């Protein structure tokens, strides 16, 4: 199940995004184009709503925006790396370079909570965080994240 949530095509490098709002729009468009959500607009609204509740800016340049919404067709983890640091009201006030974005279908599926906690735990590991920030290819990023997610299958 976990392996369906994340694959190498869910990773994107983005050079244009400069604001949190643009980042959320980019994630939403990406999700629609990838067939993860029916509507980029609806998913974007869900992401915005989540950010209003509490920032998803984690620490060390990483944010975990997510939304549980009826527009989501299938659960997915998307990984975006930005060329420009993005102001995200993070817990440590540092700008964001990478987002781990989650799209979660409505319903009783708790799978996303496992993914969320796995990613959150992984980000406490400085080696993992530094590696992901330094990664320069989709394949490198994929291997790093897949290594953490595979722990869930054990």
SS (H, E, C) 1-52: CHHHHCCHHHEEEECCCCCHHHHHHHHHHHHHHCCCECCHHHHHHHHHHHHH
Tokens 């920030």 — which residue?
A: 133
Q: Give, as one character, the DSSP assignment of residue 72.
A: B
pLDDT of residue 114: 83
pTM, to two decimals: 0.91
Q: Which of 32 and 5 is assigned the larger pLDDT?
A: 32
Q: Sorting pLDDT into bands at 50, 70 and 90, what band is 72?
A: very high
Q: Which residue has the higher pLDDT, 103 or 153?
A: 103
Catalytic residue among 66, 69, 97, 112: 66
Catalytic, 66? Answer: yes
Q: Confidence band (pLDDT; 50, 70, 90) for 1?
A: very low
Quick check: 153 pLDDT over 70? no
Distance CA 16, CA 22 (A): 9
What's the pLDDT band for 106 if we cut at 50, 70, 90? confident
Residue 136 to residues 12, 18, 79, 125, 126, Cα–Cα distance (Å): 11, 19, 13, 19, 18
Which tens digits make up the pLDDT trace of 109-138?
677 788 888 888 898 899 999 999 999 999
Asked if 37 contacts 31 with a C-beta cutoff of 8 angstroms, the reply is: yes
Q: How many CA atoms lie within 13 A of 98 on its CB side?
A: 23
Angle among Cα 34, 69, 83 to the nearest 5 degrees reads 50
């Amino acid at each position: 199940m976990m392996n369906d949530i994340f694959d190498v095509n869910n990773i994107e490098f983005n050079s244009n995004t400069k604001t949190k709002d643009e980042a959320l729009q980019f994630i939403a468009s990406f999700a629609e184009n990838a067939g993860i959500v029916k509507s980029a607009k609806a998913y974007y609204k869900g992401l915005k709503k989540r950010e209003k509740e509490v920032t998803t800016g984690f620490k060390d340049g990483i944010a975990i925006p997510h939304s549980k919404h009826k527009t989501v067709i299938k659960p997915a983890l998307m990984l975006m790396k930005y060329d420009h640091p993005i102001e995200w009201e993070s817990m440590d006030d540092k700008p964001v370079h990478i987002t781990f974005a989650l799209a979660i279908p409505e319903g009783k599926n708790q799978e996303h909570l496992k993914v969320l906690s796995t990613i959150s735990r992984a980000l406490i590991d400085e080696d993992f965080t530094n590696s992901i920030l330094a990664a320069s290819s989709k394949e490198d990023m994929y291997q790093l994240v897949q290594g953490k997610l595979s722990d869930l299958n054990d």
